[in-house]
Amino acid sequence: MTHIAVVGAGAVGCAIARALVRAGHRVTLIEARADVGAGTSKANTAIWHTGFDAKPGTREAALVARGHRLLDERASDMNWPLERTGAILIAWDADQQGRLDGIVANARAVGYTAIEPLSVDEVYAAEPHLGPGALGGLLVPDEGLLDPWSIVVGLATDAVINGATLLRSAPVTKVTGEPGAYVLTTGAGEVHAQWVVNAAGLSSDAVDRLMGQDGFTITPRRGELIVFDKLARHLVQHVILPVPSATTKGVLISPTVYGNVLLGPTADDLEDRQATGTTELGLTGLLEKGGLILPELLEEEVTATYAGLRAASEHSDYCFEAFPGHRYIRVGGIRSTGISSCLAIAEDVVAQLAESGEIATPLQEPVTQPMPNLAEDRLRPYADPELIARDPAYGDVVCLCERVTLGEVRDSLTSVVPAVDMDGVRRRTRAVAGRCQGFHCGARVTAMMEAYRG
């Protein structure tokens, strides 16, 4: 049994840890922050990408396409909400209209053939609230919505219940030893491992250097987003995409599985790897663009704003490479599509280890634990009379905006990978994520956190 240290517990690291442990390896998953999924994986646009617009021939193109299918296959066992809303890509001027055929050709080149042209009338029939001026578009029927929060917590939970050790608040600061016998110095003590997998997101270049490599440099690309109230949900049925540019997929409008509407993201290259605040300039620009696409959206209330940092590098593909001689796998620079591709990346990591001769005996009976439901398209605990009859804590609504119950907050604090702070409770339950942003329920959730932490 090979002992593998996975550095970074975002979507990618958690997916890799889960796949490795199920494949029969011994795994330590090491996270710098207090919680899993608290980096880029918590702050993105939550689109379930098909990869139709990825660059043909890249690892990213293949992994997003495969990852899209794998998420679909796992969703029901894991109770992950996926909504196949479809996306509509819209041309707003003659130049963009002229690029639609190229986008169709690109989609076919990466193996996605379900894309189809839409006339102006079809565009407005599909999205009646669009602003004037659309010239035509494309339908991408398999794009959709995902829930990044329960995907990450679900993957981490799966890894742990099947045998992985999870270390949190444990930044890896030094790696010594040699291939096959590494010693990682972490905030939670030393970890001895034969292999290291680097899934450290925005710090994947720094961890690469700790491993004696120097393959790439991360330049964070910030994306700011605006979350509109649930009353805006009727305005949009699909993911509404712009014609992408060379550097960004552009500003989109999308429903969320939680019943809100998102507008964003921006794309700004930065030096600062901590700059996850929003800016007046960014939000003003988004409102201007959003008002042209869906004018009525601007009449709706804003619930929240946030920003995430894409781990962009100088390469136009993921920095995903195995170094068998070094017993090291680099999984860095997973920029704009990593939630969609994470299960495929994990599958590839297992295959690369096997190719390097690290064969293990897969678990005969891996355990699967479905995640609590966070989505609006299925029954939530507060509305489930049978559940409430069994446990009245699910009938006691703590967060009125998001209708989150005492039972759900309790579960988030006592689960296999429990929340350790308010943000962790939010991502496991939706409490404090609603209209009042915790004004009503914050004190009660804080009291519960103190009670369960002892």
Ligand X SMILES: Cc1cc2nc3c(=O)[nH]c(=O)nc-3n(C[C@H](O)[C@H](O)[C@H](O)COP(=O)(O)OP(=O)(O)OC[C@H]3O[C@@H](n4cnc5c(N)ncnc54)[C@H](O)[C@@H]3O)c2cc1C
Q: Rule CB under 6 A: is residue 219 a binding residue for ligand X?
A: no
Q: 38 or 104, CB closer to ligand X?
A: 38
Please count the other Cβ atoms lying within 10 Å of the Cβ belonging to residue 383.
Answer: 12
Q: Which residues neighbour 378 within 8 Å (Cβ) at sequence distance 6 or greater?
A: 81
Q: Rule CB under 6 A: is residue 39 a binding residue for ligand X?
A: yes
Which backbone phi and psi does 420 adopt, to 5 degrees? -120, -5
Please count the other Cβ atoms lying within 10 Å of the Cβ belonging to residue 314.
Answer: 10
Orientation angle between helical segments 338-355 and 11-22, nearest 10 degrees: 40
Q: Which of 137, 201, 424, 438 binds ligand X (CB under 6 A)?
A: 201
Q: Which residues neighbour 365 within 8 Å (Cβ) at sequence distance 6 or greater?
A: none
Q: 289 or 410, CB closer to ligand X?
A: 289
Tell me how far, at minimum, the Cβ of 91 lies from ligand X, in Å: 21
Q: Rule CB under 6 A: is residue 263 a binding residue for ligand X?
A: no
Tell me how far, at minimum, the Cβ of 365 lies from ligand X, in Å: 28
**Residue in 328, 298, 66, 132 with CA at minimum distance from that of residue 211:** 328
**Per-residue binder mask for ligand X (CB under 6 A), 322-361, x = binder:** ------------xxxxxxx---------------------
What are the residue ranges of helices labelled H in 190-293? Answer: 204-210, 280-293
Q: Which of 2, 28, 45, 429 binds ligand X (CB under 6 A)?
A: 45
Q: Rule CB under 6 A: is residue 213 a binding residue for ligand X?
A: no
- Annotated catalytic, 68? no
Q: Rule CB under 6 A: is residue 140 a binding residue for ligand X?
A: no
Q: Rule CB under 6 A: is residue 32 a binding residue for ligand X?
A: yes
Please count the other Cβ atoms lying within 10 Å of the Cβ belonging to residue 269.
Answer: 11
Which two three-digit tokens encode residue 74? Answer: 């796992």
**Residue in 381, 424, 423 with CA at minimum distance from that of residue 402:** 381
Q: 7 or 235, CB closer to ligand X?
A: 7
User: What are the percentages of helix, strand and coil residues in the chain, rounded to 5?
Assistant: 35, 25, 40
Q: Rule CB under 6 A: is residue 419 a binding residue for ligand X?
A: no
* Token pair 């270049």 in the structure block, residue: 205
Q: Rule CB under 6 A: is residue 8 a binding residue for ligand X?
A: yes
Catalytic residue, chosen from 3, 25, 49, 68, is 49
Q: Rule CB under 6 A: is residue 30 a binding residue for ligand X?
A: yes
Residues binding ligand X (CB under 6 A) = 7-13, 30-33, 38-41, 44-47, 49, 171-172, 199-203, 207, 223, 265, 308-310, 334-340
Active site residues: 49
